[in-house]
Amino acid sequence: MHYQCFSHVSVLSRQLLAGLKIAPEGEYLDATVGGGGHSEQILAAAEKVKVIAIDRDLEAIAAAKIRLAQYYPQQIQFWHGNYADYQPQDLLFDGIIADLGVSSPQLDTPERGFSFRHSAPLDMRMDSTQSLTAAEIINHWQEKQLADIFFQYGEERFSRRIARQIVRERPFQTTTDLANAIARAVPAKYRYGRINPATRVFQALRIAVNQELQSLERFLERAPYWLKPEGIIAIISFHSLEDRIVKHRFRDCELLQVITKKPITARADEQKLNPRSRSAKLRLAHKKNF
Given strand 281-287, what is the order of strands in its sheet?
A: 76-80, 50-55, 27-30, 93-99, 227-237, 281-287, 256-258
pLDDT band at 2 (very low <50, low <70, confident <90, very high): very low
128, 62 in Cβ contact below 8 A?
A: no
Closest C-alpha to 53, from 44, 210, 35, 45: 35
Q: What number is the average pLDDT over the span 45-52?
A: 98
Question: With bands split at pLDDT 50, 70 and 90, how would you rate the model's confidence at 3?
Answer: very low
Q: What does the pLDDT read at residue 7?
A: 52
Q: How confident is the model at residue 219 (pLDDT cuts 50, 70, 90)?
A: very high
> Cα–Cα distance between 7 and 58 in angstroms, integer?
14
Q: What is the phi-psi region of residue 109: left when phi exceeds 0, alpha when psi lies from -120 to 50, beta otherwise?
A: beta
Please write the tens of the pLDDT for every residue from 114-125.
Answer: 999 999 999 999
Give counts: helices (H), strands (E), the chain: 12, 7
Give, as one character, the DSSP assignment of residue 191.
T
Predicted confidence band of residue 10 (pLDDT cuts 50, 70, 90): confident
Could you say which DSSP state residue 31 is in? Answer: S
The pLDDT value given to residue 103: 79
Calpha distance 219→216 (Å, rounded):
5
Whole-number pLDDT of residue 25? 98
Q: 10 Å Cβ neighbour count for 136? A: 13
**What does residue 93 show for φ and ψ, rounded to 5 degrees?**
-115, 150
Complete DSSP assignment for 114-173: --SSS--BS---SSTTSS--HHHHHHHS-HHHHHHHHHHHH--TTHHHHHHHHHHH----
Residues above pLDDT 90, as percent of the chain = 85
CA distance 67 to 190: 43
* Calpha distance 177→142 (Å, rounded): 19
Q: What's the rounded mean pLDDT across residues 107-131?
A: 93
For residues 51 and 26, the answer to whether their CB atoms sit within 8 Å is no
Q: Which range has the worst mean pLDDT, 22-26, 85-89, 200-204, 270-274?
A: 270-274
Confirm if 202 and 208 have CB atoms less than 8 A apart: no
| Side chain identity, residue 210 | N
